[in-house]
Chain A
Amino acid sequence: MRKVLAVCLNPALDREFIIENFSIDKLNIVSNEKNKMTPGGKGVNVAVILSKYSIPSIVTGFVGGYVGNVLISELRKIDSLISTSFVHINDETRENIAIADTVNHTLTEINSEGPYVDIYSMEAFLRRYEVLLKQVSVVVISGSVPRGVSNSIYGELTKIAKKYNKKVFWEARDEIIIDSIKIAFPDVLKYDMRRSEKILGNILHTEDEYIKATKEFIKSGAKLVIVSYKTIFDFVGTVDGVWKFSPKVDIDHSYLLGTGDTFVAAMVLAQLDGKCCLDMARYGYAAAVAKTSYIGKEPPSRQQIEKYLELISSERVE
């Protein structure tokens, strides 16, 4: 049985060009080996990481046009443990272009706005989502929402998943969480705070404000909440209290890329292993900290995660 349904509503094709002395208004030639193309989007990333731990998954969402077909084809090359089941739309899938200049240390990014999803595609998606849902035990909904789709979609999808008693994980930004929790709460709620420090519309500053916000989510119905604090710390709330997670090792901030997806994937792994609540969050956090100890896209091995469980602290703060 495929164990996980990874919902990636707005996947992207990530294009990376490494160009020494990149200059605008000139022709820049890049060799094939310095031109990478990888499927992206948070849900896709989680499925890819899970495949490294031999966990089969189905990835669903919307793809469109030539870029969409390239994305699917690249995703299929990664691992046969990833099954694809996308709804095909009229608009082109988004493409994120990054030009890294290793001489002048610049990073130029060009991201396409992304597709518009019409009502018919949305209906087709919802019908298929419910069918796919029955095939898995865990649903991960992660990442941005394309134009035309309501921010409450995470709540709608969770409400359907709960009809079938599935465990639901979210990693999302504040505006999606605000609209979606009005409909349903997931089992695990992880805040994506990469582009915004807002929680429920407010910018929080002190540790007390973070603790209060974490408690509010639990009061409203969440079973496990993870709120990132100053990038490398997390406040974790369960019905039993609130904890502050910290690393016991120095974190290299330039290795933080992909740690959020590793966190979520490792929590799913822990859930499938039968771990619950705080232990699940600890496993995710240890995996994320382990991921910062090296460059590269590969997730840490299970042995590395076990080792890093000793290199993190979880202090009860409430």
Chain B
Amino acid sequence: MESIKVKDVMTYDLTFVFENETVEQVIDLLDKTGTSGIPVVDTDLKVVGFISEDDIIRACLPSYFNLLQTAAFLPDTNLVLSNLKKISKDPIGKYVTKPVFTVKPYDTLLYVADAFMRKNYKMIPVVDDNNILLGVVTRLSVLKNAIQKSMVVNK
């Protein structure tokens, strides 16, 4: 498994958003692309953050939410919906995960698999040495390629 590199399993897709695009635009893009998150870049295509469904949901919850044992303790269960409406025109930069965890094309699959497990990421941006976006690597692509590799070995 260690011999497979990120470049062999990554998706060479450059779908990205800018920090000043709105929460509403990002939700629309996530829906259209069927992904759980999108890299955030600057005007030189350098990755400056990552925005995921989780980040947006977290932004809609009150700050004390983590202290509650369940959502049932929320005083108003419509809070999330009303907060989402409130933040829908906000620039996504307010809610972006920073600093962003990225990998390089020559990192090993084991290194990426470890990051997926320990940090619970679903998607990781792949960048070059200048931090310029090259694509993304997903949990599923790691699993798919690992299983194909083991099938070849077994033959």
Contact mask for chain A residues 77-91; partner B; CB cutoff 8 A; 1 contact, 0 none:
000101111101000
- CB of B45 within 8 A of CB of A83, answer no
A126-158, CB < 8 A from B:
127-128, 130-132, 134-135
Interface check A69, CB cutoff 8 A: yes
Contacting A at CB under 8 A, from B9-41, are: 11-16, 18, 25, 29, 32-34, 41
B43 at the interface (CB under 8 A from A): yes
Whether A58 sits at the interface, judged by CB under 8 Å, is: yes
Check if B43 sits within 8 Å of A88, measured CB to CB.
no
Q: Which residues in window 81-108 of A have CB below 8 A to B?
A: 82-86, 88
B114 on interface, CB distance cutoff 8 Å: no
Task: Say whether, besides A69-B34, A83-B135, A88-B32, A132 and B13 are in contact (CB < 8 Å).
Answer: no
A302 on the interface (CB 8 Å rule)?
no
B18 pairs with A88, CB closer than 8 A:
no
Chain B residues within 8 Å of chain A by Cβ, number: 20
Residues facing B in A41-63 (CB within 8 A) are 58
**B74, CB-defined interface residue at 8 Å:** no
Please give the residue numbers on chain B whose beta carbons come within 8 Å of chain A beta carbons, in ascending order.
7, 11-16, 18, 25, 29, 32-34, 41, 43-45, 132, 134-135
Q: Can you offer 6 A-B residue contacts whose CB atoms are under 8 A?
A: A85-B14, A128-B16, A132-B14, A134-B44, A134-B45, A135-B132
Contacts of B44 in A (CB 8 A): 131, 134
Known: A130-B43, A131-B44. A83 touches B12 (CB 8 A): yes
Closest to A135 in B: B45
Q: Kindly provide the distance from the CB of A304 to the nearest chain B CB, expressed in whole angstroms.
A: 28
Q: Using Cβ atoms and an 8 Å threshold, which residues of chain A touch B34?
A: 69
CA distance A64 to B31 in the complex (A): 12
CB distance from A98 to the nearest CB of B (A): 28
Partner of A86, one of B15, B25, B134: B15
Please pick, from A76, A130, A135, the residue contacting B11 in the complex, using a CB distance under 8 A: A76
Cα-based distance from A39 to B24 in the complex (angstroms): 30
- Closest Cβ neighbor of A80 among chain B residues: B12
Contacts of B43 in A (CB 8 A): 130-131
Contact B45 A132 (CB under 8 A): yes
Most interface-central of B14, B29, B33, B134 (chain A CB within 10 A)? B14
